[in-house]
């Protein structure tokens, strides 16, 4: 089934070329179906890229999904034109006037700042508080996961000596978890971050469950026991070349960043990387939508 988005959104052309069915408002009106309403709080600077990556994964399920892209009102975007944001995004205050079945809060390039120093922190906290009471399941990605764990549970982030970049293998920590149904025994997740979590901090919190961890990347997937919050420290939505683009962007600026691990063939940056996390990504998002959003939400909003 399709995803319902603004017909002029640049991601639409890309998704249609990939045979992902994107539905306009007029076409959706002819179907007697209540779509799942998903809000994407997009905090990434390259918003078009992130939109396409997430919509590609959300559109690969049998469910009809209506997407609302959300922008922060107390933040001036340096990389996306205000005209673009005004056309395709709703301001964060509009969230509180609507009901959503699911929400995604993305990463952001602010992880080396204290949470309280981020200019939209209070605004984001209001969204997270609203989601806890009014959204059936919220997926927090990368910095979003650190922000959600800190705000809801007081879990601190810790700086790494050097950036964690690359694709790292993970193992399940629990059996029979619906979110990872169909996963291989070990599975890859791309990581791109400067901070980490301490496992012992999470284990002290009785309301959290560690679902997956990596020998190299630490704890990577966590959920609340009521399934209302999912935290993933990595970027399963990343395209094949995203880590390369980040690496070359930083090295072109003269920054000393490590080569992404387990990524470039033979660690040769002249060789084209290959994605080996795509199937895991599709399965993860499909499972989240099915087990933690669709099967929990009623047909009529209360």
Which residue numbers are catalytic? 142, 235, 237
SS3 assignment, position 30: coil
SS3 assignment, position 164: strand
Taking alpha carbons only, the member of 269, 246, 254, 137 closest to residue 190 is 246
Instruction: Match 């387990």 to its residue by tokens.
Output: 262
Tokens representing 101 are 């079945």
Pairs from 79-82 (Cβ < 8 Å, separation ≥ 24): 79/45, 79/46, 79/47, 80/45, 80/47, 80/48
DSSP assigned state of 53: H
Taking alpha carbons only, the member of 52, 72, 68, 88 closest to residue 135 is 68
Alpha helix stretches (DSSP H) within the chain: 11-17, 25-28, 47-58, 82-88, 121-134, 143-153, 199-203, 242-252, 278-287
Answer yes or no: are the C-beta atoms of 289 and 58 closer than 8 Å: yes
Taking alpha carbons only, the member of 281, 196, 283, 179 closest to residue 233 is 196
Distance CA 116, CA 288 (A): 30
């Amino acid at each position: 089934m399709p995803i319902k988005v603004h017909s002029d959104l640049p991601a639409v052309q890309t998704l249609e070329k990939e045979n992902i069915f994107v539905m306009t408002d007029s076409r959706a009106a002819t179907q007697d179906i209540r779509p799942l309403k998903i809000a994407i709080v997009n905090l990434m600077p390259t918003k078009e890229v992130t939109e396409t990556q997430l919509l590609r994964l959300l559109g690969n399920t049998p469910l009809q999904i209506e997407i609302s892209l959300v922008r922060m009102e107390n933040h001036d975007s340096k990389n996306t034109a205000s005209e673009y944001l005004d056309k395709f995004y709703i301001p964060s205050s509009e969230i509180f006037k609507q009901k959503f079945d699911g929400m995604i809060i993305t990463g952001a390039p602010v992880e080396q700042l204290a949470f309280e120093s981020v200019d939209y922190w209070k605004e984001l906290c209001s969204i997270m508080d609203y989601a806890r009471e009014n959204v059936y399941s919220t997926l927090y990605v990368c910095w979003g996961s650190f922000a959600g764990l800190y705000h809801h549970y007081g879990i601190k982030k810790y700086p790494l000596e050097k950036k964690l970049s690359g694709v790292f293998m993970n193992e399940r920590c629990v059996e029979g978890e619906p979110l990872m149904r169909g996963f291989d025994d070990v599975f890859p997740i791309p990581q791109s971050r400067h901070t980490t979590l301490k496992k012992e901090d999470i284990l002290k919190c009785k309301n959290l469950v560690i679902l997956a961890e990596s020998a190299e990347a630490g704890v990577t997937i966590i959920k609340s026991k009521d399934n209302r919050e999912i935290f993933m420290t990595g970027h399963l939505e990343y395209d094949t070349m995203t880590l390369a683009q980040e690496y070359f962007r930083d090295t072109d600026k003269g920054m000393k960043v490590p080569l992404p691990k387990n990524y470039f063939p033979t660690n040769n940056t002249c060789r084209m990387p290959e994605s080996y996390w795509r199937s895991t990504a599709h399965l993860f998002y499909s499972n989240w939508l099915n087990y933690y959003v669709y099967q929990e939400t009623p047909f009529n909003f209360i």
